[in-house]
Amino acid sequence: MISGTPKYDTAATPEPVIALESVSKWFGNVVALSDISFSIGSGVTGLLGPNGAGKTTLLRLMSGLSYPSEGKVRLLGKDPRQDYAVYSRIGIMSEHESAYEFMTGRQYVSLAAKLKNVAHQEGHIKRSIETVDMVFAQDRKIATYSRGMRQRIRLAASLVGQPDLLLLDEPLNGADPKQRISFHETIRELASAGCSIIISSHILEEVEEVCDNVLLIINGKLAAEGDYHAIRAALDDRPYRIRIVCSEPRLMGSQLAKMPDIDSIEFEADEASCIVLSSNVGVLQSALPYIAQNHHIRLNRVEPIDDSLESVFEYLVDN
Amino acid sequence: MDQVFTTIYALSIRQITGIWRMLIMFGLLALTEGLTIWITVIDDATGIVELIIPSTIMPLICLIIATPLFSDEIEERTLANLTLAPIPRWKIVFPKIMAAVSVGGVPLAVTTFAATITALSGNGLNISGGSILTALSASITILIGVICYSSLFAFAGTLTTRAVIIGLVYIFAWESALAALLPGLRYLSISKFNISIMRWIEDPNLFQSATLEVPGHIYALIASIAVVAITVPLSIWRLRNMDVQ
């Protein structure tokens, strides 16, 4: 249970929590981020994109770990590379940062509290460790922790001092299902206490659980931003390509062609399957067994072809 | 003292006092004292205090103690724990260099003190107030050198994770081999600055073994201060401007 409230209620101010203005970042000839501008208010925001899209680079720029090659980054109205005091109001858990292996979990959280010069440190340390459910292992060396435990103790360190803003890069890497549920609860509680949270992830469903808004990053560009549910609705309208492997693909295709929600049907060269493009997968799923039964067609396999996150993002960008 | 300062100081002490580093450091110090005792029995060992310690033992110890201050943090991806805290960069650099000076400088100063006493006793001098003062002066001079080398190697550690290799090249190629071929390099050598300062604050008659040419003591003092005054701000600047992993 999260107790206490952030020192600074980000929901109560019109000032954007994070603002990026024409930010680009390149490494030699490689452009990692290109001309990204947005501002984020309070609430939970998901930074979503396929692996290699530039999420981590963007989060590193937001947190001040890296300089933009061009443009401006403002955290709570301050430039984190110039005004270090802003870090007293921010908790950051970057993907690649490591904890000190020779410390115990408690010592590591205590270090974060001391570096932040948090008042009443013992209480904050205890509460942070309890929040991530690591009390049982707090006196063990971090070197002995599993990947999920390391993530949790790093999350505890970022929570210390009740930050106004949390930046979390792939926080659920290595977490098991129970830890995921616990993490989602923690995020909701922190958000309801007034903490603004940015979570980066390449898993759509992970973001769906907790985020009000999303930023979609593809190939280093901001592809879409806005309310998660609006974007999800756009996703639901997306036509899906389904491969149907069966004994009579042409007969199956002719029957499916009579359905209103089928956009196109292609037959593959092996004469053992057909590819159906449909904007209503639910209806297709219900109809397939009946068609197969009525026409004595043996269904061998039904599989989505392009359900990868990349194709989902491409669809959203195109639309 | 400031809580952040003491926290980073204590953290740095813990980081640089790994078992292998301590074994190498105390091995080098034991070798120095052992060599001094052995040579004192058969000959004049003051050259160890005046030459071997400042030009070889001190830079090597500073190298193994000061380069990991930042290079290990960068390599192990722990530096972000410090740079994402609400603290000015000088409060990261200063306690780290102080930690290196404490861990490397104190044992070096003690060893220098013991080696000086040993060497001077071998010259037919009893352990007197004069020789203790000489040993104390030698130790303080070595501490000045430790501050210079620690600042330099700490800065090297902010530039590359291969700072130890660069430091070894600097010690053995620049300060030894090249300096022997090009006498002008004594004006760009921390160990020569240190030897010059040592000769200046000691009784010159006590250290007669060295024939090495060194810069004048005023130049050496100013140059030593300049090394610290340049490399410490450079480390702070580097921390401000680097992309932290």
CA distance A310 to A316: 10
At residue A287 the predicted structure's pLDDT band, cuts being 50, 70 and 90, is confident
CA distance B163 to B37: 33
Report the pLDDT value the prediction gives residue B165, as an integer from 0 to 100. Answer: 93
Most B CBs within 10 Å, among A7, A81, A84, A92, to test the B interface: A84
Most A CBs within 10 Å, among B7, B84, B237, to test the A interface: B84
> Helix or strand or coil: residue A191?
helix
Contact B3 A117 (CB under 8 A): yes
Decide if pLDDT at A275 tops 80: yes
Could you read off the pLDDT of B219-245 as tens digits, one per residue? 999 999 999 999 999 999 999 988 887
At residue A234 the predicted structure's pLDDT band, cuts being 50, 70 and 90, is low
Beta strands A299-304 and A240-246: pairing type?
antiparallel
Contact A65 B77 (CB under 8 A): no
Decide if pLDDT at A68 tops 90: yes
- H-type helices in chain A, by residue range? 55-63, 105-115, 121-131, 147-159, 177-192, 204-210, 228-236, 249-256, 281-294, 309-318
Number of H-type helices and E-type strands within chain A: 10, 13
Lowest pLDDT segment from A116-130, A297-311, B47-61? A297-311
Decide if pLDDT at B26 tops 50: yes
Contacts of A288 (CB under 8 A, 6+ apart): A244, A299, A302
Tokens 């292996």 belong to which residue?
A: A101
Cα-trace Rg, chain A: 24
Q: Which residue of B has its CA nearest to A154?
A: B81
Provide the token pair at A301: 């396999």
Q: Does A168 lie at the interface with B, CB-CB under 8 angstroms?
A: no
Report the pLDDT value the prediction gives residue B129, as an integer from 0 to 100. Answer: 66
CA distance B103 to A128: 34
At residue A263 the predicted structure's pLDDT band, cuts being 50, 70 and 90, is confident
At residue A48 the predicted structure's pLDDT band, cuts being 50, 70 and 90, is confident
Residues of B in contact with A60 (CB under 8 A): 243
A residues 169..208 contacting B (CB < 8 A): none
Q: Which residue of B has its CA nearest to A95?
A: B245
Q: Which residue of A has its CA nearest to B74?
A: A97
Provide the token pair at A53: 């899209």
Q: Which residues pair with A278 in a beta bridge?
A: A240, A262
Decide if pLDDT at B87 tops 90: yes
CA distance A184 to A171: 11
CA distance A291 to A287: 6
Q: Which of A88, A97, A114 sits opposite B80 (nearest CB)?
A: A97
Distances (CA, A) of A25 to A53, A97, A307, B56, B159: 13, 20, 30, 44, 21
Averaged pLDDT, B151-180: 90
At residue A94 the predicted structure's pLDDT band, cuts being 50, 70 and 90, is confident
Q: CA B134 from chain center: how many Å?
A: 19
CA distance A262 to A271: 20
> Helix or strand or coil: residue B115?
helix
CA distance A166 to B183: 58
Contact A99 B245 (CB under 8 A): no
Q: Does A156 lie at the interface with B, CB-CB under 8 angstroms?
A: no
Q: Which residue of B has its CA nearest to A66?
A: B243
Q: Does A117 lie at the interface with B, CB-CB under 8 angstroms?
A: yes
Q: Does B83 lie at the interface with A, CB-CB under 8 angstroms?
A: yes
Contact A115 B76 (CB under 8 A): no
Residues of A in contact with B91 (CB under 8 A): none
Q: What is this model's ipTM?
A: 0.87
Q: Does A102 lie at the interface with B, CB-CB under 8 angstroms?
A: yes
At residue A115 the predicted structure's pLDDT band, cuts being 50, 70 and 90, is very high
Cα diameter, chain B: 59
Beta strands A30-40 and A18-27: pairing type?
antiparallel
Residue pair B191/B134 in contact by the 8 Å Cβ criterion: no
Top-confidence residue, B207 or A210 = A210
Residues of A in contact with B81 (CB under 8 A): 97, 99-100, 111-112, 115, 157
Lowest pLDDT segment from A80-84, A265-269, A278-282, B105-109? A278-282
Nearest of A177, A134, A167, A171 to residue A153 by alpha carbon? A134
At residue B11 the predicted structure's pLDDT band, cuts being 50, 70 and 90, is very high
Lowest pLDDT segment from A41-55, A150-164, A199-213, B105-119? A199-213
At residue A4 the predicted structure's pLDDT band, cuts being 50, 70 and 90, is very low
Nearest of B180, B198, B191, B232 to residue B58 by alpha carbon? B191
At residue A165 the predicted structure's pLDDT band, cuts being 50, 70 and 90, is very high
Decide if pLDDT at A247 tops 60: yes
Distances (CA, A) of A282 to A239, A254, A287: 11, 19, 9
Decide if pLDDT at A51 tops 90: no
Contact B243 A66 (CB under 8 A): yes
Q: Which of A66, A87, A102 sits opposite B14 (nearest CB)?
A: A102
Nearest of A67, A24, A21, A60 to residue A40 by alpha carbon? A21
Q: Which of A65, A94, A114 sits opposite B3 (nearest CB)?
A: A114
Report the pLDDT value the prediction gives residue A305, as an integer from 0 to 100. Answer: 76
Q: Does A27 lie at the interface with B, CB-CB under 8 angstroms?
A: no
Contact A65 B241 (CB under 8 A): no
Distances (CA, A) of A84 to A64, A73, B131, B240: 9, 13, 51, 10
Report the pLDDT value the prediction gives residue B41, as an integer from 0 to 100. Answer: 85
Contact B3 A88 (CB under 8 A): no
pLDDT, mean over chain B:
89
Q: Does B77 lie at the interface with A, CB-CB under 8 angstroms?
A: yes
Decide if pLDDT at B136 tops 60: yes
